[in-house]
Amino acid sequence: MAAIETDGLAKRYGSVAAVERLDLTVEAGTIYGFLGPNGAGKTTTMRLLTGLTRPSDGTATVAGVDVRDRDRLGERIGYVPDAPPLYEKLTAREQLSAIADVRGLDPDRARERVEALFDRFGLAAADDRIESYSKGMKQKTSVIQAIVHEPDVLFLDEPTSGLDPNAARTLKAVLTELRDEGTAVFLSTHVLSVVDELADTVGLLSDGRLLAEDDPERLVADRDGDTLEDAFVELTNDADLSARLRESP
């Protein structure tokens, strides 16, 4: 069973088709780099796959759970959204302990894991209120929150945003380790070097549709340019390809 499986997944907002007939398969133990221009539908897809918004059409399972079953889904996934929902009046330690409690983790084991992650990410001010944190410190807290319960599938929307180079490097190492332990990592970013470095598969979304999907090297090798950026620009400006996809059933 794949870690993420969608069949004809779609989301419409009035007349706007944010995601259209999306068929995705992401295997356990792989990193999927989800790319696309602004407004392509990446965040909407993540919200669909994490149960935060309901599909207009189609089906999706994540870790074998139907995305409409939000309660069961929450135990199996982690999500680092674009704007992390943190309780500003709590300290990071309090926030993490509350989350571990909600997820039913053994308190001693959770404390140990949280301490190790604070150390790993160099989050020194774990006992200060989150409202006093910089953007990067909030991002680190959000990442730790998403992985504290060792989810089967981890979703990240622009995860390196606000992180300094040391923290970004730590995050990349952590994601690689999680992948090697069998976690499926679904990652959306405009920082193509992150995808180039980490992703086993790249999916390129445009106007709510998947334009291309391949391993990063093949995606580049099959086109005129030399880099993932070249392939991104070529594919997203290919009017014929977009028209063909729009017309396909």
Ligand X SMILES: Nc1ncnc2c1ncn2[C@@H]1O[C@H](COP(=O)(O)OP(=O)(O)OP(=O)(O)O)[C@@H](O)[C@H]1O
The answer to whether 67 and 5 are in contact (CB under 8 A) is: no
Token reading at 228: 């993932």
Instruction: Give the count of residues interacting with ligand X (CB under 6 A).
Output: 11
Q: Confirm or reject binding of residue 38 to ligand X (CB under 6 A).
A: yes
* Closer Cβ to ligand X, 130 or 199, answer by number: 199
Which 4-23 positions form the footprint of ligand X (CB under 6 A)?
Answer: 13, 16, 18
Can residue 41 be called a binding residue for ligand X (CB under 6 A)?
Answer: yes
Residues contacting residue 96 through CB under 8 Å, at least 6 positions apart = 110, 114, 141, 144, 145, 148
Please enumerate, as own/partner, the contacts of 137-140 that have beta carbons within 8 Å and a separation of 24 or more: 137/92, 138/84, 138/86, 138/162, 139/80, 139/84, 139/163, 139/167, 140/167
Q: Of 37-45, 63-71, 97-105, 130-138, which segment contacts ligand X by CB under 6 A?
A: 37-45
Which position among 9, 22, 31, 40 is part of the footprint of ligand X (CB under 6 A)? 40
Among 6, 30, 43, 142, binds ligand X (CB under 6 A): 43
* Shortest Cβ 47–ligand X spacing (Å): 8
Q: Which residues bind ligand X (CB under 6 A)?
A: 13, 16, 18, 36, 38-44
